[in-house]
């Protein structure tokens, strides 16, 4: 099977996209600026704040993930079939993309000054060191990257580029991807944003290079998150603190 034999799909926004994107935006804004409204009374049911935070994130990403799959399953199937036509190239791009993120982040840190750990990153590290891999990996490695690639690559570049210059879409994708990870938690300082900007730039580059294939950018994103999770488990908690 070659790529040309796989029928293209129309990159137009659908009602399903509207439901999926609307759900994501509304609940991200709630969690960022009014976290107490997330799931009222949850802290009474789950006294441990870390576990309660995990449950909130799990419920949110399960719902967002289900909507993203519902809206994009035809594209996901098609793009997976395309990747299967060149399996060795795909397998090489995944670790290569992760390495590119690490390298670009290091360069960005040299340019912007000493790095600052984002509140979001500290919260993720707190979850990882407090909960077992069986709970963390499905959330941070499988579900969350799919939702984010669907929103920030498939919609903001793949579909929005029908109406707006693709490079403008790429810039919007990178900036919003970085901003959403710190929104409502801290000031938009460059040292805090740099790791997310570098990660977003690499994912955008891979997505565009691969012909708007968000399954490939998802695979790279998931691999990067998996590496971060494994390293967090491997490093003693006192060193992370």
For 205-219, write each residue's pLDDT tens digit: 999 999 999 999 999
The mean of the pLDDT values for the chain is 87
Distance CA 52, CA 39 (A): 9
Q: What is the pLDDT of residue 48?
A: 72
**How far apart are alpha carbons 120 and 53 in whole angstroms?**
12
pLDDT per position as a tens digit, 104-119: 988 987 887 766 666 6
Tell me the per-residue pLDDT of 33-88, one tens digit each, with 9 for 90 and over: 776 665 556 656 766 777 878 888 899 999 999 999 999 999 999 999 999 999 99
Q: What is the Cβ-side half-sphere exposure of residue 42, based on CA atoms within 13 angstroms?
A: 17
d(CA 181, CA 172): 14
pLDDT on residue 237: 56
CB 33 within 8 A of CB 26: no
Q: Which pLDDT score is estimated for 78?
A: 96
Q: Which of 145-149, 194-198, 216-220 has the lowest mean pLDDT?
A: 194-198
125 — pLDDT class (breaks 50, 70, 90): confident
pLDDT computed for residue 1 by the predictor: 39
């Amino acid at each position: 099977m070659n790529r040309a034999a796989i029928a293209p799909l129309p990159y137009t926004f659908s009602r399903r996209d509207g439901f999926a994107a609307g759900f994501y935006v509304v609940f991200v804004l709630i969690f960022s600026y009014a976290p107490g409204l997330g799931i009222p009374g949850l802290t009474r049911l789950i006294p441990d704040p870390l576990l309660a935070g995990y449950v909130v994130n799990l419920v949110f990403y399960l719902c967002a993930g289900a909507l993203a799959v519902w809206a994009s399953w035809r594209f996901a199937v098609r793009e997976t079939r395309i990747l299967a036509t060149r399996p060795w190239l795909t397998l090489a791009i995944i670790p290569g993309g992760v390495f590119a993120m690490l390298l670009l982040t290091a360069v960005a840190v040299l340019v912007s000054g000493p790095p600052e750990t984002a509140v979001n990153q500290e919260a993720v590290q707190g979850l990882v060191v407090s909960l077992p891999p069986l709970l963390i990996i499905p959330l941070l490695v499988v579900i969350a990257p799919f939702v984010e690639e669907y929103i920030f690559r498939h919609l903001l570049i793949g579909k929005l580029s029908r109406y707006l210059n693709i490079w403008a879409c790429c810039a919007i994708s990178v900036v919003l991807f970085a901003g959403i990870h710190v929104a409502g938690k801290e000031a938009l300082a460059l040292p805090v944003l740099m790791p997310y900007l570098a990660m977003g730039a690499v994912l955008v580059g891979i997505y565009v290079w691969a012909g708007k294939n968000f399954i490939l950018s998802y695979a790279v994103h998931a691999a990067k998150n998996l590496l971060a999770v494994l390293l967090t488990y491997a490093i003693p908690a006192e060193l992370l603190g």
